[in-house]
Amino acid sequence: MYFPAGRYLDTDSAHCCVSSWRFPTEVPRAKLTGLYITNALAKTEAVENGFDEAIMLTPSGYVAEGSGENIFLVVDGKLVTPPASDGILVGITRDTVMNWPRTNWASKR
């Protein structure tokens, strides 16, 4: 069964900020509403300051994730994302993106 969710951000290029809210690594990461309160606060802070999205950092100051999505970059032709050991939500989307390049990246470049 397929339910189209639409776009999370209503823009082709997001204007992002680093949130003052830190990513909570001390709590278990699961899709439970109460665990997303920090993400909601980070998103609210970003929008109130004129940004589209917030980038959250770990308590050590490393990039963790956006307020509502994983973060992926291509650096020197390699796909990079924060490690699961940082406590980020490891789910279907992250797994799909991390495995997609193995079969598709070379043919799309």
Q: What DSSP string describes 22-34?
A: EP-TTS--SS-GG
User: How many CB atoms neighbour CB 87 within 10 A?
Assistant: 19
Amino acid at 15: H
Task: Provide the annotated active-site residues.
Answer: 31
Q: What is the DSSP string of 43-102?
A: HHHHHHTT-SEEEEE-TTS-EEEESSS---EEETTEEE---GGGT----HHHHHHHHHHH
- Provide the 3-class DSSP secondary structure of residue 86: helix
